[in-house]
């Protein structure tokens, strides 16, 4: 194989890997931001990597909205998020999946929030958004994460 062929093959493989990562990454526009969903449960799997960290959350069969959800204090973000209104609108998911994939922010942003790596077995709750069409996998893009008495806003960096 000539040097030029090796370079072209390497470039093609790199482009293929990047394309695969781009397809696996879901932008905010894919999610129904008019219908915030509340989930809580036990973390059973963690993928702490870019393009964003991911968790698998096992939710109880008897999932309920906490009575104080709308009154929780939220941190300020640089993005214009009306957090209190979002929490007031939060509902339980209509689908009954026991395991949900939770998409967090990129590692850089999690570092800005000083959010340490979530460990398997941790209990957390989150408010976020599902896909506009609730078909396929049970995936939630986290807007807020409540963990160990702290709240993290994941749309943007802290204000």
What is the tens place of the pLDDT at every residue in 89-132?
A: 999 999 999 999 999 999 999 999 999 999 999 999 999 999 87
Cα-based torsion angle of the residue sequence 119, 120, 125, 130 in order, rounded to the nearest 10 degrees? 110
The verdict on 23 and 39 lying in the same domain is no
Residues 19 and 41 in one domain: no
What is the reported pLDDT for 14? 44
Conformation bin of residue 114: beta by default, left when phi > 0, alpha when psi is -120 to 50:
left
Residue 77 lies in a domain: yes
List the one residue out of 97, 109, 98 whose CA is nearest residue 142.
109
Q: What CATH number corresponds to the domain at position 80?
A: 2.40.50.140
Domain assignment of residue 158, yes or no: no
Q: Which residues of the chain are under the pLDDT cut of 70? A: 1-29, 133-135
Give yes or no for a contact between 35 and 88, defined as CB atoms under 8 angstroms apart.
no
């Amino acid at each position: 194989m000539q040097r030029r062929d090796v370079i072209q093959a390497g470039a093609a493989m790199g482009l293929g890997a990047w394309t695969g990562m781009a397809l696996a990454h879901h932008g905010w526009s894919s999610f129904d931001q008019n219908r915030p969903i509340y989930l809580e449960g036990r973390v059973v799997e963690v993928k702490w990597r870019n393009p964003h960290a991911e968790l698998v959350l096992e939710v109880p069969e008897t999932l309920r909205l906490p009575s104080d959800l709308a009154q929780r204090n939220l941190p300020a973000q640089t993005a214009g998020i009306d957090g209190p209104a979002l929490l007031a609108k939060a509902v339980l998911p209509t689908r009954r999946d026991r395991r949900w994939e939770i998409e967090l922010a990129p590692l850089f942003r999690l570092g800005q929030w000083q959010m340490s790596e979530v460990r398997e077995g941790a209990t957390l709750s989150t408010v976020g958004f599902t896909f506009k069409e609730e078909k396929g996998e049970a995936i939630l893009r986290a807007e807020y994460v409540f963990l160990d008495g702290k709240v993290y806003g994941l749309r943007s960096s802290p204000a």
